[in-house]
Chain A
């Protein structure tokens, strides 16, 4: 029974392996173009919460990698609401999740999900503007 379960899981894992490799490759390619330094655009771009959300959705990788740059930016005057919108959007999406989401839940879920992510990331920024604007 356990052997069957382990074997079935392995078969399913092997079926997902090309998707995982594809997702990792996509993340790496995006990272080549959008590295942590791209974050600095949030501040200079002047596009506000929507810009921070859009950059967050596009950025790959673990959120931990962005914290040092965010710290520097905050020291240089990055407003808290922008940081919250970016952190929320980055954690909720990213290239890797796009691939996984399409394969697990399909297009309709993905499209609605990305709209909801944009809404909640913007809302997060708005709430931070009320609580801690600077």
Chain B
């Protein structure tokens, strides 16, 4: 009985998450196609490859403000990677949820307090930047 309740809950969860995720993921794939088709590889190389020391912390800060739905970063990061972005930039793009966005950070502050949230966001930006550098060096 407990198992069937658990399976039902899992199935319901799958449908609920899928209903949000699938359309967003399709849009992310579309965005990645647009990047592949229209983005100038020279500009991307200048931004993400030649200047990765600036790009990595800059992206970490930007991602702490812009709300980005979960998991849709993968197709976009893969498209940028295909066009020459380094592993460090990919790491930061995939780490957007750690630094959070404005809405998530406000929610976190409501639950855990502003003092905690401010320190955590600052720390996240620092460690995600360091992680990006580490990925760039290791791979």
A binding-site residues for B, Cβ under 8 Å: 5-6, 8-10, 12-13, 16-17, 20-21, 24-25, 27-29, 31-32, 62-64, 67-68, 70-71, 74, 80, 83-84, 87-88, 91-92, 96-97, 100-101, 104-105, 108-109, 112-113, 116-117, 119-121, 123-124, 127-128, 131-132
Q: Does B30 make an interface contact (CB < 8 A)? A: yes
Q: How far is the CA of A127 from the CA of B121 in the complex (A)?
A: 12
Main secondary structure of the interface of A (DSSP, over half): helix
Inter-chain residue pair count (beta carbon < 8 A): 140
A20 touches B25 (CB 8 A): yes
Contacts of B83 in A (CB 8 A): none
Contacts of B13 in A (CB 8 A): 28, 31
Contacts of B131 in A (CB 8 A): 116-117, 119-120
Contacts of B135 in A (CB 8 A): 112-113, 116
Contacts of A32 in B (CB 8 A): 6, 9-10
What distance in Å separates the Cβ of A102 from its nearest Cβ neighbour in chain B?
A: 11
What distance in Å separates the Cβ of A55 from its nearest Cβ neighbour in chain B?
A: 15
Cβ contact of B123, chosen from A9, A97, A124, cutoff 8 A: A124
B134 touches A119 (CB 8 A): yes
**A-B pairs with beta carbons under 8 Å apart, 19 shown:** A5-B30, A8-B33, A13-B25, A20-B22, A21-B18, A25-B14, A28-B13, A29-B10, A67-B112, A74-B116, A84-B119, A84-B120, A92-B95, A100-B74, A112-B87, A112-B138, A113-B135, A123-B127, A128-B123
Which partner residue on chain B sits nearest A66 by CB separation? B111
Q: Does B139 make an interface contact (CB < 8 A)? A: yes
B18 touches A67 (CB 8 A): no
User: Apart from A74-B116, A132-B116, what 14 extra A-B contacts exist at CB < 8 Å?
Assistant: A9-B33, A28-B10, A62-B70, A67-B107, A70-B112, A80-B119, A84-B123, A88-B127, A91-B100, A97-B71, A104-B75, A116-B134, A116-B138, A127-B127
Within 8 A of A (CB), among B1-35: 6, 9-11, 13-14, 17-18, 21-22, 25-26, 29-30, 33-34
Main secondary structure of the interface of B (DSSP, over half): helix
B binding-site residues for A, Cβ under 8 Å: 6, 9-11, 13-14, 17-18, 21-22, 25-26, 29-30, 33-34, 37, 70-71, 74-75, 77-78, 81, 87, 90-91, 94-95, 97-98, 100, 104, 107-108, 111-112, 115-116, 119-120, 123-124, 126-128, 130-131, 134-135, 138-139
